[in-house]
Structure 1
Amino acid sequence: MKPELNITGEPRTRDTIDLAPRFSEHDALRLNRMFRGASTQEMLEAVIRDGLAGDLAVVSSFGAESAVLLHLIASVDRSIPVLFLDTGKHFPETLAYRDLLVERLGLNLVVLTPDPDDLAKKDESGLRWSYDPDGCCDIRKVRPLEKALVNYDATFTGRKSFQSSTRANLPRFEIDTSDAQGRLKINPVIDWDASQIEAYLIQHDLPRHPLIAQGYPSIGCSPCTSQVAPGEDPRSGRWKGWDKTECGIHKPGEEPFL
């Protein structure tokens, strides 16, 4: 197995990763410059096959447009772990769609679940979403993902700039600010628009999430996801009535490295 390389082409060892942050803001800046003008496929092949970002994982909700990123990555390397947060609050349609895509694309699915002690102490009734959605997301999404991500140097996300104003200026590469590990967060389809997503789905005959046809362009946990009227922000149906736009995995205040 060839050694992992950093973006200067020098070998990276697990000892150096453990002693210091894996990547810095400067690394993210250099990667954005390195792949400026490159296609999404070219960038993915270089990052995955050349080991530029170390140990990789995909974080996927198996939501409305997830099939595109999952197909892109599977076409390069199907062995990359796909981390799915099973919150216990998903629509049954989402779980069925997840299983369909896993079988169709041959994905390496890794299911993450909330800590039973956290649920017993902080959400025994299962209704925390109704009065504290941030706390519910923290227990059911943020904490399980934090535990899993210590094993990875970088993660792929399916965020796109057209989804909401909080995602409008995100770059392809950024530093995950959720901890001090210096993990890369890679947004391969951040600059894709809705027509590109649709064209890719058609070209590769990818199945659609069944709730899209029912007016759900952005799909999360069932209690906190509602239908969206034509012309509304695609994510306006998430946590409707709350001053909340992200679950906590992605922070709305994160600034891109340009």
Structure 2
Amino acid sequence: MAEAARALDLINTGPRFTAADVTALNARFESADASALLATVLAEGLIGRAAIVSSFGAESAVLLHLVASIDPAAPVLFLDTDKHFPETLAYRDLLATRLGLTDLRTLTPDADVIAKRDESGLRWSYDPDGCCEIRKVAPLAAELTGFDATITGRKGFQSRTRAHLQSFEIDTSDAAGRLKLNPLARWSKADLDAYVAVHNLPPHPLVDAGYPSIGCAPCTSKVLPGEDPRAGRWRGWDKVECGIHVPEAPGELPSF
């Protein structure tokens, strides 16, 4: 698998990773903890050129701390949609400094596209999918052309549509077979809280205000007791993901 990933530097045909690769990786690391998994795949080049995609949201500090402990120069991609809470932007800067992240890349939407498709800045209110597409999906896709894999902070407990999340999966939005690594897939909320406490990581300032999952300000609301942590995202819409994570088949709910 490492050889297949590195071969992309010499040829540009064929998928980066296949379903067989994903099966083998999940089997190999079935019992590995997140730190050991990340250390191994990054050190051995098993997933090729990888970037961390972080929202700098409610639980982002854990994954970022794990990565920074192994390689603080690993590329970290943050999508600045121009719709974030001010607290999120401040938290991004705080974590980047505290953890010593040296390759934080802030991605922004194409200004011409915004002018043509969201001149009023209110597309989120009538077409949230279209808003996510131009402010998140397209900018990330453009940046990822140079990477073979992404590392995400998604967890299975966050919602029913992520309940079957695996550590490794194929990025279904990428025809060339880019890989996704979810090292925290099997972590519980208690696991996260314990890690934060042990390492004295700063919390996102909006968590205590009732926001266990934090996206863009217009599309994020407080979560009520007993609801999924992501219940406050796009409340009132038949929408569960921004588009970066997509269903595996047409008409299927995202399972990750």
Instruction: Calculate the TM-score normalised by the size of structure 2.
Output: 0.94
SS at match of 2:231: coil
SS at match of 2:140: helix
Q: Distance in 2 between matches of 1:239 and 1:151?
A: 31
Task: State the Cα deviation string for residues 19-70 of structure 1 (Å, max 9, x = none).
Answer: 1211111111110011111111111111000110110100000000000000
Aligned mate of 2:70, from 56, 72, 76:
76
Task: Verify: 1:193 aligned to 2:188, yes or no.
Answer: yes
- Of the structure 1 ranges 128-137 and 243-252, higher mean CA displacement relative to structure 2 is found in 243-252
Counterpart of 2:199 in structure 1 is 204
Task: Verify: 1:169 aligned to 2:195, yes or no.
Answer: no
Q: How does 1:112-127 map to 2 (within 5 A)?
A: 112-127=107-122
Quote how far apart the aligned CAs of 1:5 are.
2.8
Task: Verify: 1:104 aligned to 2:71, yes or no.
Answer: no
Counterpart of 1:50 in structure 2 is 44
SS at match of 1:6: helix
Q: Percent identity?
A: 61
CA contact (8 A) 1:6 1:53 kept: no
CA contact (8 A) 1:22 1:183 kept: yes
CA contact (8 A) 2:79 2:106 kept: yes
CA contact (8 A) 1:239 1:245 kept: yes
Quote how far apart the aligned CAs of 1:104 are.
0.4
Q: Distance in 2 between matches of 1:255 and 1:206?
A: 29
The structure-2 alpha-carbon separation of the partners of 1:121 and 1:13, relative to structure 1 and needing over 3 Å to count, comes to closer
Q: Distance in 1 between matches of 2:218 and 2:62?
A: 26
CA contact (8 A) 2:162 2:254 kept: no
Q: Distance in 2 between matches of 1:254 and 1:187?
A: 15
Letter in 2 for 1:126: G
Counterpart of 1:5 in structure 2 is 2
CA contact (8 A) 1:56 1:152 kept: yes
Letter in 1 for 2:228: D
Task: Verify: 1:85 aligned to 2:79, yes or no.
Answer: yes
Letter in 2 for 1:55: R
The structure-2 alpha-carbon separation of the partners of 1:159 and 1:11, relative to structure 1 and needing over 3 Å to count, comes to closer
Counterpart of 2:250 in structure 1 is none
Task: Verify: 1:231 aligned to 2:226, yes or no.
Answer: yes
CA contact (8 A) 2:156 2:186 kept: yes
Letter in 2 for 1:86: D
Task: Verify: 1:23 aligned to 2:20, yes or no.
Answer: no
Quote how far apart the aligned CAs of 1:254 are.
4.6
Structure 1 spans left out of the alignment, 5+ residues: none
SS at match of 1:68: helix
Instruction: Calculate the TM-score normalised by the size of structure 1.
Output: 0.94
Moved over 6 A (4+): none
Aligned mate of 1:95, from 85, 89, 101:
89
Q: Distance in 1 between matches of 2:110 and 2:15?
A: 27
SS at match of 2:129: helix
Task: Verify: 1:248 aligned to 2:246, yes or no.
Answer: no
Structure 2 spans left out of the alignment, 5+ residues: 248-252
Aligned residues: 250
What is the CA RMSD across the aligned residues, in angstroms? 1.5
Quote how far apart the aligned CAs of 1:15 are.
2.1
CA contact (8 A) 2:162 2:255 kept: no
Q: Distance in 2 between matches of 1:167 and 1:6?
A: 31
